[in-house]
Amino acid sequence: MITVATWNVLHRIHAENWYEDVSSRWPDEAARIDAVTARVAARTERVIALQEVSGDQLFSLRAALPDRTVHAMQYQRVPTARRHASALRDPSEHLVLIIEGPSREIVAESFADDPGKGALAVSTGGAVVIATHVTGDRRRAKQLARLAEVACATPEYAAVLLGDFNIDRETVASSLGEGFTVAEPSPDALPTRPRTSGAKSQFIDHVVVRDATVREVIVEDADGLSDHNLVRATIAL
């Protein structure tokens, strides 16, 4: 068994550029960073995948988690503040995997067609775990194909994909193809990305497995720290 969680913690510059409620609710980004770090540090999952991690947030996480391995991949693109200067000391953006126990990084790459999205893969506990953030347009097809390629590169290991796929469960499942299972939250689960308008799915953060079984998947309220809620799962390898 392996326990996992995935959470898009919302990069501050993205929040401010797109008028997210989070930036109004948390005018002091340093305080929000501390609150996000405290929430992550209290987690007991063996594997935690995070998306949209700023350089400041990454520094805070590493300082707070000396007993865990924090793998990080910096995107080629650095978010640009459009409305006013960012308060971040380090505005770079990262994918992060926090691992309890031995682990080894095997892939860290931005997608070829989007320097601000990508994949970070490590081997741990007899599985390949991939953190990802997928582009929310037609580019997703090639990106999902690349994720499937990474997941199948070591067929002797089960694969677990965690992240913000920016699309509904059915589309992810059909794009990845046979052999992959996209976990389905219960019918009464909280949305992973709540919205008050628009037709886009509110369930876009997923736990995906190959040669493994998801025993439980639960969406937890982020309490306004991010525009996404956290998803956790228990997986039998």
The candidate with the shortest Cα–Cα distance to 162, out of 223, 110, 217, is: 217
Distance, in Å, from the CA atom of 44 to the CA atom of 109, rounded to the nearest integer, reads 27
The two structure tokens encoding residue 167: 């699309």
The tens digit of pLDDT for each residue in 85-139 reads 888 999 999 999 999 999 999 999 999 999 999 999 999 999 999 999 999 999 9
pTM: 0.97
Domain map (residue ranges) of the chain:
2-236
The CATH architecture annotation of domain 2-236 reads 4-Layer Sandwich (3.60)
Distance, in Å, from the CA atom of 148 to the CA atom of 229, rounded to the nearest integer, reads 25
The tens digit of pLDDT for each residue in 210-237 reads 999 999 999 999 999 999 999 999 999 9
The tens digit of pLDDT for each residue in 144-200 reads 999 999 999 999 999 999 999 999 999 999 999 999 999 999 999 999 999 887 778
